[in-house]
């Protein structure tokens, strides 16, 4: 099984992708502070029967972005992925984690014909009030209010307190104490991508509402960490009730970084799902 990093030119940008294996493409999309290295635990587990295409989204490693200029937005990342899927030449299985899950969901809503399946691991992002109201799930804090912890983390990073800023971000998203227990690999990756928080703080995508979600014509697997903090369990439950063809797999003993904490269980759940289609 060969493995290489190659560049796909999409929308005038050189998108770095890990490209490994053969067969139907399975595209893995990382979340905040991560890049294609985030999926190291899936390369062997998911790459036996599928061609893994694993991009680093625009302005993430290996680019060393200083936070200046444009190009970091949910809209741009969706557009880049849409062009990447065009380059692959056939419908793909698409898997996204956290913020990457929200990006992948938006890709699926715009181009369902390019997907065989959609898997979302603790999808983040903004959803309209009617999604939670319909599902009978308590509405998380409003996006602007939740964005405050990103602003606080970014302020610490820009002041030179990088470790403190990254700890604040990761522990808010994944649970108290997760940063302190993280591997050196993860810490280095997060530090490499610290300035992408500039783009995240600025990014204010339109929330996804019930009407558009109910029209999604793609089978969906929602992966939830048993120990993931809110808002992720609420988002997963709301999407399960709103999406027309969705099922949930809970990864026991795992928090938000479920693919790293319980890779065997995570990989098994993904394979059991996508092998049906």
Write down the pTM of the prediction. 0.96
Q: Mind listing the pLDDT tens digit for each residue in 218-269?
A: 999 999 999 999 999 999 999 999 999 999 999 999 999 999 999 999 999 9
**Percent helix, strand, coil in the chain (nearest 5)?**
45, 20, 35
pLDDT of residue 147: 81
CA distances, 58 to each of 10, 80, 195 (Å): 10, 8, 12
**Domain containing 249: what range?**
3-140+206-274
- Is residue 10 in some structural domain? yes
CATH, residue 88: 3.40.50.1820
Reduced to 3 states (helix: H, G, I; strand: E, B; else coil), residue 231 is: coil
Question: Which residues neighbour 172 within 8 Å (Cβ) at sequence distance 6 or greater?
Answer: 149, 153
Q: How many domains does the chain have?
A: 1
Q: Does residue 62 lie within any of the structural domains?
A: yes
Domain contains 182? no
* Residue 58 forms part of a structural domain: yes
**In contact, 174 and 194? CB cutoff 8 Å:** no
Q: What pLDDT score was predicted for residue 3?
A: 58
The token pair that represents 82 in the structure block:
């849409």
| pLDDT, tens only, 73-85 | 999 999 999 999 9
Q: Dump strand ranges (E) for 113-268.
A: 115-121, 220-225, 246-251
- Nearest CA-CA partner of 241 in 94, 121, 117, 132: 132
pLDDT, position 1: 39
Would 188 be classed as within a structural domain?
Answer: no
Classify residue 61: in a domain, yes or no.
yes
- Residue 179 resides in a domain: no
Give the per-residue pLDDT at 145: 76
Residue 130 lies in a domain: yes
pLDDT in tens, the chain (277 residues): 345 899 999 999 999 999 999 999 999 999 999 999 999 999 999 998 899 999 999 999 999 999 999 899 999 999 999 999 999 999 999 999 999 999 999 999 999 999 999 999 999 989 999 999 999 999 887 767 778 999 999 999 999 999 999 999 999 999 999 999 999 999 999 999 999 999 999 998 999 999 999 999 999 999 999 999 999 999 999 999 999 999 999 999 999 999 999 999 999 999 999 999 9
Q: Which residue has the tokens 């060393």?
A: 64
């Amino acid at each position: 099984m060969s493995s290489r990093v190659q560049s796909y030119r999409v929308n005038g940008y050189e998108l770095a992708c890990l490209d490994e294996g053969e067969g139907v493409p399975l595209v893995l999309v990382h979340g905040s502070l991560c890049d294609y290295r985030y999926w190291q635990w899936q390369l062997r587990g998911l790459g036996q029967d599928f061609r893994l295409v694993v991009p680093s989204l625009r302005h993430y490693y290996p680019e060393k972005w200083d936070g200046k200029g444009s190009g970091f937005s949910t809209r741009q990342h969706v557009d880049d992925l849409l062009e990447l899927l065009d380059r692959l030449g056939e419908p793909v299985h698409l898997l996204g984690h956290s913020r990457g899950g929200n990006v992948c969901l938006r890709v699926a809503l715009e181009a369902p014909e390019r997907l065989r399946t959609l898997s979302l691991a603790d999808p983040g992002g903004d959803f309209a009030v009617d999604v939670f109201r319909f599902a009978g799930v308590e509405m998380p804090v409003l996006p602007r209010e939740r964005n405050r912890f990103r602003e606080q983390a970014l302020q610490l990073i820009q002041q030179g307190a990088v470790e403190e800023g990254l700890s604040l971000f990761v522990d808010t998203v994944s649970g108290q104490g997760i940063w302190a227990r993280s591997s050196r690999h993860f810490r280095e990756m997060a530090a490499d991508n610290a300035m992408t928080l500039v783009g995240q703080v600025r990014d204010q995508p339109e929330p996804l509402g019930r009407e558009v979600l109910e029209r999604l014509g793609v089978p969906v697997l929602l992966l939830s960490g048993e120990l993931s903090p809110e808002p992720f369990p609420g988002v997963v439950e709301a999407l399960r009730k709103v999406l027309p063809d969705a099922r949930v797999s809970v990864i026991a003993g795992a928090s938000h970084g479920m693919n790293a904490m319980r890779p065997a269980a995570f990989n098994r759940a993904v394979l059991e799902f996508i092998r049906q289609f």
